[in-house]
A and B are shown apart, each in its own frame.
Chain A
Amino acid sequence: MFSLADLWMWFAEPENWLGRYGLLNLLGEHLAISLSSILLASLLALPLGILIGHLGKGEALVVGLSSISRAIPTMGLLFALVMLLGIVNRELAVTLALAAIAVPPILAGAYSGISTIERSTKVAAIAQGMRPIQLIWHVELPLAASSIIGGLRIAFIQVVSTVVLAPLVGLGGLGFAIIQGLALRDFAQVTAGAIAIVLLTLFGNLVLGMLQQKTRLSTLRQIRAR
């Protein structure tokens, strides 16, 4: 086994931070893969969730999509996509597999944020002469912002903790430190990689949580000001 001193020594060694498979580069790759998957998922799930919430039609689609994609094992999907798209397109395969797990929470966040707005609020906006686009932009989106960010927050946590699988198909990310460390029985490296992933997840969770809180407060303030 290893001691805390070994872990400290690992972090103190510059070689472990720099280079192709150094901690900094792995962290950058980890973030890049995570963010591009969340972006791809958002492009699909945000407009769809907003539309379904706005129209009040197609809730079954939201429920169906979420349960289907939650039932798919991510690792299986990852390998299937790599085989289907070819190893040359492994970046795309990994992004798609991760986007698949990011879609349900983003979709649910957008949908529930908009569909739970009081009917009287929407009716009042329409009575003031707002067109559907204006209703969405000026009323529904600001009121749903906190819930939408909540969805993104859940997606971020799930994706960041699942990118760990990427080294299995030859991509980097912080999972590399764990997978290589296990094979080399370098438990200081395994722990260091795990700590980095935990810190990254907590940090993202904190930032998005603050953002969520802020949008909630500013919406409340606007409502009171009116």
Chain B
Amino acid sequence: MKKTAKLLIASAMTAVLALAGCAQTPSEPIVIGSQAYYSNEIIAEAYALVLEDAGYTVDRQFSLGQRDVYVPALLSGEVDLFPEYTGNLLQYFDATATATAADDVYSALTAALPAGLSALEMSGASDQDSYNVTANFAAQNNLTSIGDLAALTGLKLGGAPELAERPYGPTGLDSFYGVKVEFEATGDATVEALVAGLVNMANVYSADPRIQQLGLVTLADPLGLFLASNVVPIASDAVDQKARDLINKVSQAMTAQDLIAMNVRSVQEQLSPNQIAREWLFSKGLIK
């Protein structure tokens, strides 16, 4: 309920800002949005800091919730810049998309984006769905790849409720790898359910720090069941070329390990997105 309230306030604020910003002036701030997801907020903060460092005025509209809420805001020009993920965004615009490899997904996304929005350079950092098992379970059954599960019976798959219907859910597991599972909607407690043994395998985002912390084993996906989901900045036409170049430098500098390391700092050290992003940008020489 708190989330909804935040969201309402955020959308009300963006609406007011949009009205107030009707007259175009050169000093109009670049509005940067983010999902209500701590890792996404860190990336958005990195964009904001780099632009501010170059003298731009930035308006942070973070924690805007899910795509249903913020994509319309991007399309209407209320938000100018947003950190996104190639695969998940592609599925939003084109539910029938078949590309799964990183480059294919990126070009499919570029084609699928509506007029007025463009995808800047994608980053090597990704945050995508992945199937994970506990180290014990992997050792007992000699598991390294999703296909290794096909030999096992009575498998229970845990994940968010929507996984039941996703193409990479139980149906995809069977058609790609011949793995048969019973689905258990474990919701927000998925990792806990995996560790407690309520399920044998679980869908966890690949940049989730708990994969490292709890020693989970991420199973390889050689057949491309999951869509690659690299971090990609989505910009509206209001973002000028100089700003785009600056953001592209951030994308080039951010590796998958960097993103995980920043997420770990957020979860373990409870640092603010601003501090984490600032220190990372500084270490890469992107801000002074």
Residues of A within 8 A of B (CB): 20-21, 75, 82, 86-88, 90, 167-170, 172, 176, 179-180, 182-186
Contacts and interface: CB of A to CB of B under 8 A. Distances in A.
A84 B26 CA distance: 54
Contact of A180 (B158, B185, B186, B193): B185
Interface in B187-230: 187-190, 192-193, 195-196, 198
21 contacts: A21-B164, A86-B196, A87-B193, A87-B195, A87-B196, A88-B196, A90-B189, A167-B161, A167-B185, A167-B187, A168-B188, A168-B189, A169-B188, A170-B184, A170-B193, A170-B198, A179-B161, A180-B164, A183-B160, A183-B162, A184-B165
Nearest to A90: B189
Chain B interface residue bracket vs A: 20 to 34
Most B CB within 10 A of own CB, among A82, A170, A179: A170
Interface of B: 1, 66, 68, 158, 160-162, 164-165, 183-190, 192-193, 195-196, 198
Where chain B touches its partner, the secondary structure class is helix
Contact of B192 (A87, A176, A185): A87
B162 A184 contact: yes
Contacts of A167: 161, 185, 187
A180 B162 contact: yes
Contacts of A82: 189, 192
A185 B183 CA distance: 20
A185 B188 contact: no
Contacts of A75: 1
B203 to A, nearest CB: 12
Query: In this complex, which of A20, A87, A88, A186 has the most chain B Cβ atoms within 10 angstroms of its Cβ?
Result: A87
Contacts of B165: 180, 184, 186
A23 B276 CA distance: 45
Contacts of A169: 187-189
B198 A179 contact: no
A28 to B, nearest CB: 16
Given A86-B196, A184-B165, A179 B1 contact: no
Contacts of A180: 161-162, 164-165, 185
Nearest to A183: B162
B164 to A, nearest CB: 7
Contacts of B164: 21, 180
Contacts of B185: 21, 167, 170, 172, 176, 180
Nearest to B191: A87
Contacts of B188: 168-169
Contacts of A21: 161, 164, 185
A87 B160 CA distance: 15
A186 B198 CA distance: 28
Nearest to B166: A184
A185 B161 CA distance: 12
A191 to B, nearest CB: 15
B68 A170 contact: no
A168 B193 CA distance: 12
A71 to B, nearest CB: 15
A94 B165 CA distance: 26
A75 B4 CA distance: 14
Nearest to B160: A183
Contacts of B198: 87-88, 170
